Structure 1
C-alpha cells in the first residue's frame, strides 16, 4: 500500500468523528427544486442555457463539452488543453465517486479506457453478466454489462486549476499553506463550467430497458441516445451533470435520458423552465424503475434548441432538478441525486444524495492529499470541514491524484 492510500484509509476510519451540520431530521430530506439566484436568474433556466451551450455542435463529430479538458488532461504533472484530435480519442473510465469508496482499488488500478460494473445493479434492475433476470446480454460490446464516465472542465476552470498548481499533490500542499497563512482561498472564476457524463454500452442499455419492461432494438437505442465511441465500443449517454460558478456554492443541475428506468423515483423531477409538465411526483415504491414518459419541452426551450441547431436526439434529455442551497426553508436537507449516476453506478441512495453537500466536502490535507472522509459518509445539509483541512472549492477532481 502506498503512502497516499494509507492516509486515505486512516481518513476513512475517522468518519464517525466528523460533524456534518444540518442533516435531515426525522422528517427526512426534501427534493431540491432550484430557485432564484441573487442576480435574479432562475436556476432551472440557467441550467438549460448551460446544457444547450455545452451540447452545441463543435464539429461534425463533437459537441462543445467534448472539446474541453478531461480530468486526465488536467490532473497530471504535464497538463495540457486537448487538441481537436486528442479530444476525439476518448478514454472513458468508471466513476471516481464509486471508486473513492474503495481507495485500495483506486490507488492500485489504472482505470483510463475501462468500462466497469456498477455498485448497485439491483436498485435499477441493471444487467449483471450471467444473471437472469435481468436477461443475459444479447450482444455486448464490452466484457460485461458496465458503465463509464468522463469529467470535463471549460477553459476558465482549466486555467485556474493549472495556473494555481491545483492539479498535483505538491501544488495542493503549497495551496494548503497559502490558505492557512493568508486570506487567499481556492475559488474558481465565475465563468467556470464543469460537466460529468455517464455512458453505457448500447447493447447494455437494450438489456437494461428490457429488464424493466421496455423493448427497444439496438438500432432504436442508437437513434434515441447521444452516442460516443471509446476503444471501439459504442456508448449511449444516460446521465449528465453540470455545475457552474454563478454563486459561491455553485449551481448544480442533473439531466437524464427520459427512458432511464426510475428517472423520477424517490424525489420526483422538477423543471420550472424547460418542461411542459414542471413537476412529476415519484411513483409508489412498489412501482420502482418504471417509466415517467417524455419530457416535452416548453416553447422557450424549443426556441433555444432551434437557435443552437441541436440534433433532435437531445429532445430525449430531461432536467431532473437544479440545486442552489444546502437546506430547504424549513431546515430540512435538500436532496438531488441522479437515478443512474448516484443510485446505480455509485451506490448512493437518492435519499442520501446532495450534489452540493457532496462537493462541499472536497478538501485536501496538509500534504496536499485528498480528504475523503466526508465524501464517504454521503453528506447532506450544511457541511463543516475539519479545521485541519482546506477546501478546494467543490472540486472533487483531486481524487484523480490517487491514480
Structure 2
C-alpha cells in the first residue's frame, strides 16, 4: 500500500457520545497517533473533539493539520524531483500530501477516475470556480476574487461523492428520489487552501511557504480543515438545527497576514493557543517539525452553532482572506474590523437541496443557530426558506457550487 493510500484508509467509525460532558483518557494523542488509520484515529479522538476543553480541541486541530500535511516527494511526470515547497528561498523538495489529493475539478469537472496510485502533486493551480456572492444570495461561477482557493478531499470523501452520484445536477436529483439527506462517511476530510500569486520581482512574506505552479509562484495563505467524525441520528433535521456535533472544523492562517492577530484575539470566539514547544512536538511526530509550518496557526476551532450549545452566543470562526466578505467595516482591511460574521458550521449547514424545485439553497453566511424560517433571496429575487422542503447536503457546499 502506498503512503498516500495508508494515510487515506477508510475512516472513522464513531459512536455518538454524550453531549457536553468532558472526558479524556489519553488514547487520542497517545503514542503512534500519527500512524493510525483515519477510522481508528477518529474513534480514539471523538471525546477529545466534542467533549474536551478548548485546549484539547486546539491540539487536535494541530494533529489533523499534521496528518494531512505530512510530506511526499515533489515527483514530476518525468520522474525527477522538483523544488517542492520553498521556504525562505530554500527548496525542500517536498510537498504536503494533500497536494496529491483530488481537487474540485478532479471530482466534479470530469468523468475520468482519479488515480489514487499516482502520488504526483499537481503542477497547475486548480481553483474551485465558486464565487461567494452574498449581495443577492446567488451562487455564481467566476474565479474566487484572486484568492485562488483550491478545495481538495481525501479518498473517503471522493469515493462517496462518486459512488453516490453527487457530482452532477442530474445525479443529485436522482439521489434525492431515494434519499432524504446526504450523509458523508465518517472520516471524510475536506480541505480548502488559499494561495496568492506572486507578481514577477516580488518576494513572499518572511516565513511563507511558496510553490511554483506552471502558471507562476504562489505563496500559501492558509487552509480550512473539516473532518466528519460521527453521523447524526436524524440528519434531515439535526444538520440544520441540532447542536449535536458531527464535523470538526478548524482554519489555519499565515501568522503575519494583515490584521490576523487582532481578529484572532478580539473577534474569534473559541481558540486556545498552544505553547510553541507543544506545537513542535505535534509536528515532530509527523516528521515535519523543520518544514516551516510554525509560520501558520489555527484561528480557532468549531464543532456546533453556538458556544456550549446553548443557542445564545454564536461561534465565530473564519479566515481573513477566505472569509473577508464577513468582516466589517472594510472587508479588505481586517486590522480595522470591529465585526467578523464568519461561522464554518452555520454557513455549511445551509448547504441544501430542494427535490421538488430541483434547486440549491442560496449561499449565505449565517452565524448562530438556524431555524425553519431562515431565508435568503435567490437569483430570481424570490425569498425562500430553509424549512420549505430543503434537504441537507451534510455541510457540503461543493455539491451545490460544483455540480453542473
**TM-score normalised to structure 2 length:** 0.64
CA drift of 1:228 comes to 2.3
* 1:254 corresponding residue in structure 2: 251
User: Whole-Å Cα distance in 1 between the matches of residues 340 and 98 of structure 2?
Assistant: 29
Candidates 289, 295, 302, aligned match of 2:280: 302
For the structure 1 residues 94 and 380, does the alpha-carbon distance in structure 2 shift closer, same or farther, using more than 3 Å as the test?
Answer: same
Query: 2:101·2:152 contact (CA, 8 Å) conserved in 1?
Result: yes
* 2:190 corresponding residue in structure 1: 194
Q: Which structure is higher in helix share?
A: 1
CA drift of 1:395 comes to 0.4
Query: 1:148·1:200 contact (CA, 8 Å) conserved in 2?
Result: yes
Q: Which consecutive unaligned segments of at least 5 residues does structure 1 have?
A: 1-34, 118-145, 205-216, 277-296
Query: 2:71·2:97 contact (CA, 8 Å) conserved in 1?
Result: yes
CA drift of 1:275 comes to 2.4
User: Whole-Å Cα distance in 2 between the matches of residues 240 and 70 of structure 1?
Assistant: 14
**TM-score normalised to structure 1 length:** 0.64
User: Whole-Å Cα distance in 2 between the matches of residues 203 and 401 of structure 1?
Assistant: 29
Q: Which structure is higher in strand share?
A: 2
Query: 1:92·1:230 contact (CA, 8 Å) conserved in 2?
Result: no
Candidates 286, 303, 306, aligned match of 1:324: 303
* 2:96 corresponding residue in structure 1: 63
User: Whole-Å Cα distance in 1 between the matches of residues 211 and 51 of structure 2?
Assistant: 36
Query: Is 2:243 the counterpart of 1:242?
Result: no
CA drift of 1:50 comes to 0.9
For residues 190-245 of structure 1, what are the alpha-carbon distances to aligned partners after superposition, in whole Å with 9 as ceiling and x for unaligned?
A: 111110001112349xxxxxxxxxxxx94463x62122233421111112110001
CA drift of 1:339 comes to 1.4
Query: Is 2:328 the counterpart of 1:339?
Result: no
Query: 1:226·1:237 contact (CA, 8 Å) conserved in 2?
Result: yes
Query: 1:252·1:323 contact (CA, 8 Å) conserved in 2?
Result: yes
For the structure 1 residues 105 and 323, does the alpha-carbon distance in structure 2 shift closer, same or farther, using more than 3 Å as the test?
Answer: closer
* 2:274 corresponding residue in structure 1: 275
CA drift of 1:345 comes to 9.2
CA drift of 1:91 comes to 2.9
* 1:361 corresponding residue in structure 2: 350
CA drift of 1:149 comes to 0.9
SS in structure 1 at match of 2:178:
helix
Give the aligned CA root-mean-square deviation in angstroms. 3.2
SS in structure 2 at match of 1:69:
coil
Candidates 82, 105, 130, aligned match of 1:72: 105
SS in structure 1 at match of 2:280:
helix
User: Whole-Å Cα distance in 2 between the matches of residues 229 and 399 of structure 1?
Assistant: 31
CA drift of 1:368 comes to 8.5
Question: Which stretch has the larger CA shift, 258-267 or 192-201?
Answer: 258-267
CA drift of 1:353 comes to 1.0
* 1:352 corresponding residue in structure 2: 341
For the structure 1 residues 40 and 271, does the alpha-carbon distance in structure 2 shift closer, same or farther, using more than 3 Å as the test?
Answer: closer
Query: 2:132·2:139 contact (CA, 8 Å) conserved in 1?
Result: no
Q: Which consecutive unaligned segments of at least 5 residues does structure 2 have?
A: 1-46, 75-83, 85-94, 232-245, 372-385
* 1:26 corresponding residue in structure 2: none
Query: 1:179·1:390 contact (CA, 8 Å) conserved in 2?
Result: no
User: Whole-Å Cα distance in 1 between the matches of residues 69 and 139 of structure 2?
Assistant: 33
For the structure 1 residues 193 and 101, does the alpha-carbon distance in structure 2 shift closer, same or farther, using more than 3 Å as the test?
Answer: farther
User: Whole-Å Cα distance in 2 between the matches of residues 401 and 258 of structure 1?
Assistant: 31
CA drift of 1:99 comes to 5.0
CA drift of 1:390 comes to 1.4
- Which has the bigger relative contact order, CA under 8 A and spacing at least 6? 1
How do 1:7-22 and structure 2 match up within 5 A? Answer: none
- Number of positions where the alignment pairs a residue of Structure 1 with one of Structure 2: 294
